[in-house]
Amino acid sequence: MADLQPIIQIDLLMEELETLAQISEADPPVVTRVVFSGADLRARIHVKELCREAGLSIREDAVGNTFIRWEGLEPSLAPVATGSHIDAIPNAGAYDGVVGVLGGLEAIRSLQRAGYQPRRPIELIVFTSEEPTRFGIGCLGSRMMGGVLTPDHAHTLHDKHGHSLEVLRTEAGFLGDLTSVMLAPGHFHAFVELHIEQGALLEREGLDIGAVTHIAAPASLKVEIEGEGGHAGAMLMPDRHDALCAASELILALEAAAKSTGTLDSVATVGICEVFPGAVNSVPSKVRLETDIRDTDGARRDSVIATMKSAADEISVRRGVQISFQTVNADPPATCNPIIVEAVEKAAATSGLSCRTLVSRAYHDSLFVARFAPVGMIFIPCRGGVSHRPDEYSSPEWIAGGVEVLARTLAFLAG
């Protein structure tokens, strides 16, 4: 593979990234592309058009995961796959996920331009709803592919307006039985995802490429706190069972639990807090929180959850409120395949790029593809480590480096 020279057209790719960023529910530079929204559906059409122009064939499954195929010399062999997501959380930027999709397409085109013919098929996957925005659970498409989210569970999912996944996917044109989404072990020979780091390690160390060895274990729990409401002027302080005051203590207890593990690998966030009835002159009677708790070590992540729950017991008794938890997901961490990690490191060396191994603290579709295929991830730097914000940025040089390493890794794996 050392003599293979992928021919990357970085200006074309940067233009394509810019064009896709304009397909948004918010005004530029803000990207908001929630799954099955008009913007998501328009973005899917746009990406598929670019793939058809490259001579690739397209198949979609029942939940909208899209398989874009470059046929191999031996079509019956299991494909080598790459890809990521194009949905974006509210108020996001232009690179999260998208670099792995359009960069994956450019990696394929760069190999086509170089005259390379893969022995195995190479597939570019666009996963449905990596972001949890609409249905409250991350990696919907890859989670179903990996059999972690069952069709029965998927049938219970609704968005905040009460629209079911079932209706929304059908309206988006994705038909068929959800049981067909799950893929068997061996379906992919290997899977490699290109992604921005979403952290500042590579940039800080002046490195071009991160070869991911592990993906941290994410969990999400919904919390309901029920107290007693009343008149904000008339209800005396000793008589109160204020749900928001209880929630505030719980949020701080969770923060303290994550800080107390003795490692920076434990993180916890409360990103959603809904207060009922939400009137300035009314004591909050009910609060709904959504928590996000992660660690590279699954057992340590679970111990943070346990500490939060015992804090809740204590707060509940002391304040006279009810606190209940619903686990949305508590996934184990994933280990990348050592052969793929080494292939990424070698591809970086061949490309003349600097590289280190690192851990992914964000979750990715690779976490669930790892349930049925060997996976690897290629990280590239992003400015200041900023992500999930409109000012997210990765330079053309960083992106071109990632695409070259991806192209070489795909070519090595596809034979």
Indicate which single residue of 131, 203, 295, 404 sits in contact with ligand GLV (rule: CB under 6 A).
Answer: 131
Which does residue 363 bind out of Mn ion, ligand GLV, none, counting CB within 5 to 8 angstroms by kind?
Answer: ligand GLV
Indicate which single residue of 97, 229, 284, 381 sits in contact with Mn ion (rule: CB under 5 A).
Answer: 97
What distance in Å separates the CA atoms of residue 26 and residue 24, rounded to the nearest whole number?
Answer: 5
Give the residue with the Cβ less far from ligand GLV, 82 or 110. 82
Give the residue with the Cβ less far from Mn ion, 23 or 257. 23
Give the residue with the Cβ less far from ligand GLV, 80 or 88. 88
> Residue with CB nearest ligand GLV?
362
Give the residue with the Cβ less far from ligand GLV, 95 or 363. 363
Count, residues near Mn ion per rule CB under 5 A: 2
The site string for Mn ion over 44-83 (x = CB under 5 A, - otherwise) reads ----------------------------------------
For the bound state, the minimum distance from the C-beta of residue 296 to ligand GLV, rounded and expressed in Å, comes to 13
Residue type, 202: L
For the bound state, the minimum distance from the C-beta of residue 332 to ligand GLV, rounded and expressed in Å, comes to 15
Indicate which single residue of 40, 60, 96, 295 sits in contact with Mn ion (rule: CB under 5 A).
Answer: 96
The site string for ligand GLV over 132-161 (x = CB under 6 A, - otherwise) reads ------x-----------------------
Burial annotation 363-397 (CB, 10 A radius, 16+ → b, else e): bbbbbbbbbbbbbbbbbbbbbebbbeebebbbeee
Give the residue with the Cβ less far from ligand GLV, 243 or 362. 362
When asked if residue 362 is in the footprint of ligand GLV (CB under 6 A), the reply is yes
For the bound state, the minimum distance from the C-beta of residue 215 to ligand GLV, rounded and expressed in Å, comes to 9
Indicate which single residue of 70, 135, 363, 372 sits in contact with ligand GLV (rule: CB under 6 A).
Answer: 363
Q: Give the torsion sign (CA, 166, 167, 172, 176).
A: positive
When asked if residue 193 is in the footprint of Mn ion (CB under 5 A), the reply is no
Count, residues near ligand GLV per rule CB under 6 A: 4
Contact call for residues 101 and 124 (beta carbons, < 8 A): yes
When asked if residue 390 is in the footprint of Mn ion (CB under 5 A), the reply is no
Of 7-15, 88-96, 288-296, 316-324, the segment contacting Mn ion by CB under 5 A is 88-96
Give the residue with the Cβ less far from Mn ion, 321 or 358. 358
The pair of structure tokens assigned to 144 is 């179903």
Give the residue with the Cβ less far from ligand GLV, 69 or 364. 364
> Residue with CB nearest Mn ion?
97
For the bound state, the minimum distance from the C-beta of residue 364 to Mn ion, rounded and expressed in Å, comes to 6
Give the residue with the Cβ less far from ligand GLV, 267 or 403. 267
The pair of structure tokens assigned to 283 is 């004591």
Q: Which residues contact Mn ion by CB under 5 A? A: 96-97
Q: Which residues contact ligand GLV by CB under 6 A? A: 131, 138, 362-363
